[in-house]
Amino acid sequence: MPVMHSLMEGRTALAQHLMLRVETTRSFEIVDITAAVVNIVAAAGLREGMTMVQTRHTTTGLLINEHEPLLFEDLQKMFERLAPSWAIYAHDDPARRVVNLTANERRNGHAHCRAALLRASESVMVADGTLGLGRWQRILFVDCDGGQPRDLSVTLLGDYR
């Protein structure tokens, strides 16, 4: 379940910055975060404006698309074709890599390549307190190196009640 945390608690502002935590359980996982964003907008009292969601991880991404299980399966297969998990990636070679290397690092070159095909952020208009999404549109968080807690930044801009 996502956790909301305000960085500006107790302040009335045109902009609010919050954190949203998503816990993934699988190596590749698509999580529909639309309801969490709707709850953040409602709790903040945003009436007119926009919300921006940004991932804080280099092996994750965001997209707006349909929440449909067969589409999720198709997307996973597409990512496996474009950046196979079994392939050899220079990023995963500790003998060659000299920057941003940590102890016990995951073998995740494929996840970085997959995330490069996604967006790091999405923006959605808010009108009358409602996200301006189309009939089938959902805000989807894609974890390409999952099984761990993930943080997203959420910024709200606009007029509040």
Q: What is the separation of C-alpha 95 from the centre of its chain, rounded to a whole number of angstroms?
A: 31
pTM: 0.90
**What is the tens place of the pLDDT at every residue in 120-147?**
999 999 999 999 999 999 999 999 999 9
Dist. CA 94–CA 102, nearest whole Å: 10
Q: How many distinct structural domains can be found in the chain? A: 1
CATH of the domain at 56: 2.60.120.460
- For residue 161 the two structure tokens come to 């009640």
pLDDT at residue 7 in the model: 46
Burial of 67 (0-12, 13-18, 19+ CB in 10 A): middle
Average pLDDT over the chain, rounded to an integer? 92
DSSP string, 112-133: HHHHTTSBSEEEEEEETTEE--
pLDDT at residue 28 in the model: 98
**Domain residues for 57?**
3-160
**Which of 120, 135, 20 is CA-nearest to residue 66?**
135
Dist. CA 34–CA 14, nearest whole Å: 22
Main-chain dihedrals φ then ψ at residue 80, nearest 5 degrees: -65, -35
Which range (1-5, 66-70, 75-79) has the least confidence? 1-5
